């Protein structure tokens, strides 16, 4: 038994954050308790924990961000919407493109992102552990293709 692999029970019972990059753009993803994760994340629990800790500890920046209103689920009130958006907005203020799982389409949709290109500076040791992906612009959001 390899203890460095994320257990499927753990994956399916938690809304896991994971990170990837497309060149210098870094993206944050919330799994929503699905198993839609790159194998490189699943197979390296210690690396995943290190990356999550690194981005959790990064400071937010006073930068303008955008919220993709068309990609949001339905909310009964503004309080629900605000609570849902809070973590995605925090990630966007860190210069990350922040995605949530779309349960209907079984893929990720862009929720919040920096309005202007912000150079995200990350340690080389962290960048080298991030899965490389291709972010393709589609109308208001992005679609992820895990390489």
Q: Look at the chain and count its residues.
A: 147
pTM value is 0.87
Return the closest-CA partner of residue 17 out of 6, 32, 30. 30
Flag whether 57 is in a domain: yes
pLDDT at 93 over 90: yes
- What confidence category does residue 146 fall into, taking pLDDT thresholds of 50, 70 and 90? very low
Phi, psi at residue 71, to the nearest 5°? -95, 0
Maximum pairwise Cα distance, the chain: 46
Report the chain's terminal Cα–Cα distance, integer Å.
26
Flag whether 23 is in a domain: yes
Identify the domain containing residue 35 by its residue range.
Answer: 8-146
Flag whether 78 is in a domain: yes
The domain tally of the chain equals 1
Flag whether 48 is in a domain: yes
Flag whether 90 is in a domain: yes
pLDDT at 4 over 80: yes
- What confidence category does residue 147 fall into, taking pLDDT thresholds of 50, 70 and 90? very low
Flag whether 3 is in a domain: no
Secondary structure class of 65 (helix, strand, coil): strand
- Name residues whose C-beta falls within 8 Å of residue 13's C-beta, 6 or more positions apart in sequence: 33
Least confident span in 10-19, 46-55, 69-78, 116-125: 116-125
Flag whether 2 is in a domain: no
List strand residue ranges (DSSP E) for 1-147, in order. 17-22, 25-30, 65-67, 97-102, 107-114, 133-138, 141-146
Flag whether 1 is in a domain: no
């Amino acid at each position: 038994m390899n203890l460095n692999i994320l257990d499927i029970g753990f994956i399916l019972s938690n809304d896991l954050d994971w990170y990837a990059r497309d060149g210098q753009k870094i993206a944050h993803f919330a799994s929503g308790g699905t198993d839609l994760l790159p194998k490189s994340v699943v197979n390296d629990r210690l690396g995943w924990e290190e990356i999550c800790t690194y981005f959790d500890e990064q400071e937010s920046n006073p930068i303008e961000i955008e919220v993709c209103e068309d990609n949001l689920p339905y909310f009964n009130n503004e309080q629900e919407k605000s609570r849902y958006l809070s973590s995605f907005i925090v990630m966007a203020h860190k210069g990350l493109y922040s995605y949530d799982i779309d349960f209907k389409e079984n893929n990720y949709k862009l929720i919040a992102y920096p309005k202007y290109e912000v150079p995200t500076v990350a340690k080389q040791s962290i960048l080298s552990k991030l899965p490389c992906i291709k972010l393709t612009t589609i109308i208001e959001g992005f679609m992820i293709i895990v390489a």
